[in-house]
Copies of this chain bind each other. A is one copy, B any other.
Amino acid sequence: MKIYIAGPEVFLENAIEVLGAKKRLCAQYGHEGVSPFDTDIENVTNDLDCGLRIAAANEGLIEECDAVIANISPYRGHNADPGTIYEIGYARGRRKLIFAYTYDKMTHSNRICTNFYKGNVEDFKDFKRGRLDKQFIDDFGMAENAMIDGGVTASGGDVVVEESFNLADTKGFEACLHLLVESLLCDRLR
């Protein structure tokens, strides 16, 4: 199986090294890891052209893959990296198998209530909402917004919660790989 490696690790100084470690893990489990860098963008005319071509190339890589394993840990804010979220949505649209992991043990709801609203929230019917802006907060006990956890689950995959302060930690990725291999075995036994 070809597995696309999604996550904000691409922005790290040692991105190549981190993605290399994940590729080796895929190989150990009998699969092939595909990195967002596994593409050549040449003869770029300007910044916009470069961005558009990277986006198209990554969609092409996901298309070639059977599954996606995504790091949805909060990145530069209270939510997962926007590029990673897009890729999960795209992969779900292409009917790929998706697993995701986060290194934040807080639920999406608790993160927004605590880190964004600083606890200044109130109960309203079955929901929580900001006390000042009256805006509702997803409260489904999920790691991310319901579309993300929902899409991953509907694809046949799962969301794994681990604890780590290091975005480049491979343990969440490996936990997903393990589940992926198990789910393939179960499919074969059925």
> Chain A residues in contact with chain B, CB under 8 A?
10-13, 15, 47-48, 50-52, 54-56, 58-59, 76-83, 85-94, 112, 116, 129, 134-142, 144-151, 153-154
Contact = CB atoms under 8 A, between A and B. Distances in A.
A4 to B, nearest CB: 13
A86 B151 contact: yes
Contacts of A87: 89, 147
A80 B78 contact: no
Contacts of A149: 51-52, 55
Number of copies of this chain that the complex holds: 2
Contacts of A147: 55, 58, 82-83, 86-87, 90
Contact of A82 (B80, B94, B140): B80
Given A56-B150, A88-B89, 7 more contacts: A13-B135, A13-B136, A15-B136, A76-B116, A86-B145, A89-B93, A90-B92
